[in-house]
């Protein structure tokens, strides 16, 4: 992000905004992940505790989701900068 | 709201408070838009590419390639819909103007 057009106070404000957004996005990621992994891994309610199978599934689900987010993030950055470049040409 | 810009303390000298406020709001809106787009791409491509049987913790080849293509295609659709909407609104405007000319 280019903050060169901002003065000191606005740069600070922008920083605060980014931090707030980061927190919000993290909470969103977290709750989405819980939802997804719960829905796909936990289907058996004959016991109150998680089975080894369920725990393994949740662990794999979390790992995989993080890798998914990372990869989508990379491709997104590429596509988005290509789009920006195209728009700035117009 | 800050008025430090008016006195040229840091940042560009001569940028009025209103201008810097407008800049700020534009930047804020852009961040919101990009974040929202990312979240939507991420959700869609997760649903379409990652089956919810978690047999392995890694993305396999097929899933990886699917994600790459999914992101690219999402942007394509984004572009196509945008262009189409622009066409439609241009047409609407043109027809409104021509009607306005007739009556």
Q: What pLDDT does residue B11 have?
A: 46
Q: What pLDDT does residue A2 have?
A: 58
Which of A9, A14, A64 is facing B4, going by the closest CB pair? A9
Within 8 A of A73 by CB-CB distance, chain B residues are 38
Q: Per-residue pLDDT for A55 more than 80?
A: yes
Residue in chain A nearest B48 by alpha carbon: A68
Mean pLDDT by 10 residues, chain B (103 residues): 41 65 84 92 95 93 96 94 92 83 54
- Using alpha carbons, select from A81, A76, A75, A69 the residue that is nearest to residue B37: A76
Name A27's Cβ contacts closer than 8 Å, sequence gap at least 6.
none
Q: What pLDDT does residue B103 have?
A: 52
**Assembly ipTM:** 0.77
How many angstroms separate the CA of residue B103 from the nearest CA in chain A? 36
Which of A39, A57, A68 is facing B50, going by the closest CB pair? A68
Residues A11-39: b if buried by 16+ CB within 10 A, e if exposed: bebbeeeeeeeeeeeeeeeeebbeebbee
Q: What pLDDT does residue B71 have?
A: 96
Q: What pLDDT does residue A36 have?
A: 93
Mean pLDDT of chain A: 89
């Amino acid at each position: 992000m280019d903050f060169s057009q901002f003065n000191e106070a606005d740069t600070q404000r922008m920083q605060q905004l980014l931090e707030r957004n980061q927190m919000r996005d993290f909470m969103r990621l977290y709750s989405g992940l819980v939802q997804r992994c719960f829905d796909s891994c936990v289907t058996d309610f004959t016991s109150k505790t998680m089975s080894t199978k369920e725990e393994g599934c949740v662990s794999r689900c979390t790992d995989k989701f993080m890798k998914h987010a990372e990869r989508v993030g990379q491709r997104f950055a590429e596509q988005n900068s290509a789009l920006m470049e195209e728009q700035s040409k117009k | 709201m800050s008025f430090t810009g008016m006195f040229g303390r840091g940042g560009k000298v001569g940028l009025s408070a209103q201008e810097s406020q407008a800049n700020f709001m534009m930047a804020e809106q852009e961040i919101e838009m990009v974040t929202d787009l990312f979240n939507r791409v991420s959700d869609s491509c997760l649903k379409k590419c990652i089956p919810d049987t978690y047999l392995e913790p890694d993305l396999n080849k097929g899933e990886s390639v699917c994600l790459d293509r999914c992101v690219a295609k999402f942007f394509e659709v984004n572009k196509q819909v945008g262009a189409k909407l622009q066409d439609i609104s241009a047409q609407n405007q043109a027809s409104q103007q021509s009607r306005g000319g007739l009556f």
